Every structure is written in structure tokens, then in C-alpha cells.
Amino acid sequence: MMIMAKDRIINEIDAKREEYVEFLRRLVKTDSYNPPGNEKNVADVIKEFFQANNIKCVIFPFDENRANMLGYLNENFEGTNIIFNGHMDVVPPGSEEEWNYSPLEGKVKRNKYLYGRGAADMKGGLAAMAITLSLLKNLNKEFSGNLIFMGVSDEETGGKYGTKKLLDTELRGINPSFVVIGEPTGLNPLPKAVIVGERGHLQLKIIANGISCHASMPGMGKNPIYMINNIISNLNKIDDYISSINPPLSLNELKDLISASFPSREIFEKILADQELLQNVLKSLIRFTKSVTMIKGGIKENVVPDMCEVVIDFRLLPSQNPKEIIYALKRLVEELGYEIRDKTIGKLEDVFIAIEIIHQSEGSYWKEWKQSEELKTFYEITEEMYGKTPFYFLFPACADAHYLREDYCEKTILFGPGNARTAHATDEFIEIEDFINSIKVYTLFAYEMIK
């Protein structure tokens, strides 16, 4: 990269720091809780920003006040295409009484932190990516490649109507060379992570249909709460019905990746011993996990109910198939002596189990990431702009990367401002310096790729 262009970009970002923070505040103050979504509110704000910077963009509405959007640096799609992907929806705030600052206030504190729902996940990354497009546009340079901005809906509820929808329609025929998703990849006290893989996700609702009766004569009925309890108590047995699969990276390999950011492995191990959160993250990345997250049952204190429901959240290794997990669960239910039926079929006096799929997505992993020159460039720019050595890692949750890696562009990474620990949390916040540094990383990387 020419020193002149690099210095110009960095100086421009530093000079417009307050302007960029205010743009992020506008996004945070814009309601896009999902459900119900309302992502078009955010798309309209970004469109206004793009138009002020002479950037072509198109909004694609769907449903009530929902939309996806695309922005383009230029009309040339024949060269190197870099895609920046960010979701416009955020999770609801929960009880606002628990917040010290209103989740839609965009409160800036001591010029160091910006608070609000979505500040970290991921309106910080979304704003930084939109700003990158404006910075490159205002260089008035004829680039050999293109930068494409994807502002998507629905990520917080699966991504079917967001990233997947755009890939299946508007982006068909465009071949990207590299994709960056701006999810928050900070994990304090560690440096920034560059994510090259993510776990799969399966959410199932198990419905037990029993027979209601008076609580004084429980033998007259069939208690579905006990049925659900029996399934939960034996849930770990499904591991016996699932193929043994190795994680893409072993625990030792994951530790090697993180310790590269420290003076020595010994120092890292000492820090790790005091970091319960990081210990749990590492454990989750090398195994298939399951969590009971919701239980619903009962209608009155003295009535044995006729139905009980439980939701179980499964997190899969990148090579695991959700269908195999569903099959294993059905096998367990049948071995416990319960009949499996569609919940819409059966009489009130019938006893059975029904299983509904709430959400399913496979994990994904970029197998050849160690050989990528583009990724090496991204890593080096990140190290320089943040002043700390980043580390390659896997994502313990899931994002939209699997849609991209599966059939579109295997060279997909997650990297963005914000700490993963504050995402979805009360008083969610982002460090402003982190936000500004991410703009520098995105812009310098995109410039280097498409110059």
C-alpha cells in the first residue's frame, strides 16, 4: 500500500472520529428489535448516509417494515469483489428497568464507551463497514475491484430472510474473493480475534401430550411433566447415537492460537487459570453441547396438565449434521417407551411425544485459512492498527458465515468491534477506540484488496 494513501485514510478517520461516533449513535437509537424486526428503519438511516457520500445503494423490502440492502463502491463486478456483511437487527432489550441507560439512547460515557442495544452486536461493525465504503468513495480513485456492503435482516432469528435471501437473489452471479462479517470478536482480556469457523445450531421443541386429571388422583392421568423430565434426565444418552467427530481444532491447537498473542505459552496458561469465561469458551469449541432453555407446563395448582413443552438448544461442531441430532433424539424418546407423533394428530386421551424444529443451521470452517495471503494481510493490518497481536479462533455461537462458506465464498471471516461478552447483555456497550480501530482495519484491508 502506498504510504500516502494509508496516511490519508488514517488521518481522515481520526479527523472525523466524532462524526463517525454520531453515525453509530443514530443506528443504535434506531429501533430494530427482532422480533419483530423493523430493520428497514436502520436501512433508511444507512441509505441517507450513503447518498450523502454519493454511494449507490438499493433497499429490498420484505414483510412489514423489514428489508435488506446492498451498497456498491462502483459498477465493476468483474475484478476482485470484497463483501462486507453486517446485520441490522438486534435482540430485544429485556426488562428496560434493569438498564442504567435506555437501550435506545446511544449514551456516550467519558468519550470512551457507547451504550445501547446493538452497540456491540452488531451496529458497531455495521457502522464501521458503511463508513469504510464512504472513505474509499471519497478517495476519488478508480479501483480495479469492488467493495459490496450487505446490510441484512433476520440474523438474530436464523438469517433465512437476510443473508440467505440476498445470496439467493440479488448477489447471484457475483463472485466474491473474500468476505468479512462484522460480528464483535473481542474477548477481554485477550486481543482481537479473527474468526475462521463457527459452530452449528439446532433448537428443538419437545411436546409431551399426556392425560389431564385431578391432582388428588394422579393415577387417573398421565403426567406430561414427568415425561419431559424423563427425557431431560436421559438427554446425555443421545451421545451414544451420534457419530464420533473430531473438532476442526483440538484444545491444544486452540491454546496455541491464543498464546501466539502472549510472550509465552506459560504466561498464557497462568492467565487462563484465572479466566473462567475463557476456559468455558475453549471447552465449548471442542464438543457438542446441549442446554435446556425453556420449560412450559401446567394450568392450575391442583390439576395434572395434559401437555408440557421443553426447548433444547444444541450447539454442533462444524462437521456435524443437525439431522443426525434429530434422529438421535427420536431414538432416545422411543427407547424411553414414548410414541412419536405429529402434534396435530391425536385425541386428547392419547399419550405421545412430538418434536418441532425451531431452528437449524450447520456449522462451517474455512479449512485452508492458514494458506491465505488475503487473511495474512488482514491479520497484519489488524495487528498494526490495534497495537496488539490478534489471534485466529473459532466462534462459540453461530452467525451468518455458514450461508457464505457453504456455497458462495469459503474465504469468510468474522471480525468486528465490540466484546462478545457484552452482546445481548444488559447495558450492552462498545469501546469507541475499538470502533475507530475497526474502521481503520476494514478500510486499509479493502483498499489493499481492490486498489
| Whether residue 189 has pLDDT greater than 90 | no
1-10, 178-187, 400-409: least confident range: 1-10
Predicted pLDDT at 277: 84
Share of residues in the chain with pLDDT > 90 (%):
93
Picking from 208, 222, 233, 223, the residue whose alpha carbon sits closest to that of residue 341 is 208
CATH number at residue 65: 3.40.630.10
Residues 15-39: what's their mean pLDDT? 98
The pairing of beta strand 391-395 with beta strand 193-198: parallel
pLDDT tier at 1, thresholds 50, 70, 90:
low
| Whether residue 65 has pLDDT greater than 70 | yes
pLDDT tier at 150, thresholds 50, 70, 90:
very high
Predicted pLDDT at 346: 65
Range of the domain at 310: 201-245+288-361
Picking from 170, 308, 177, 178, the residue whose alpha carbon sits closest to that of residue 231 is 308
The pairing of beta strand 391-395 with beta strand 108-109: unpaired
The C-alpha cell at 395 is 466462534
277 in a structural domain:
no
Residue where a domain stops, chosen among 324, 346, 361: 361
Query: Do 190 and 48 lie in a common domain?
Result: yes
The C-alpha cell at 187 is 474477548
pLDDT tier at 191, thresholds 50, 70, 90:
very high
Predicted pLDDT at 4: 81
Query: Do 176 and 302 lie in a common domain?
Result: no
Structural domains of the chain, count: 2
Residues 223-245: what's their mean pLDDT? 97
3-state secondary structure 86-100: EECCECCCCCHHHCC
Tens-place pLDDT, residues 303-331? 999 999 999 999 999 989 999 999 999 99
CATH number at residue 221: 3.30.70.360
pLDDT tier at 201, thresholds 50, 70, 90:
very high
Please name the residue ranges forming H helices in 161-305: 163-168, 224-233, 251-259, 265-273, 276-284
Tens-place pLDDT, residues 249-292? 999 999 999 999 999 999 999 999 998 888 999 999 999 999 99
CA atoms of 400 and 233, how far apart (whole Å) = 33
Residues 431-451: what's their mean pLDDT? 98
Picking from 69, 185, 178, the residue whose alpha carbon sits closest to that of residue 130 is 69
Residue where a domain stops, chosen among 331, 361, 391: 361
87 in a structural domain:
yes
CA atoms of 83 and 176, how far apart (whole Å) = 7
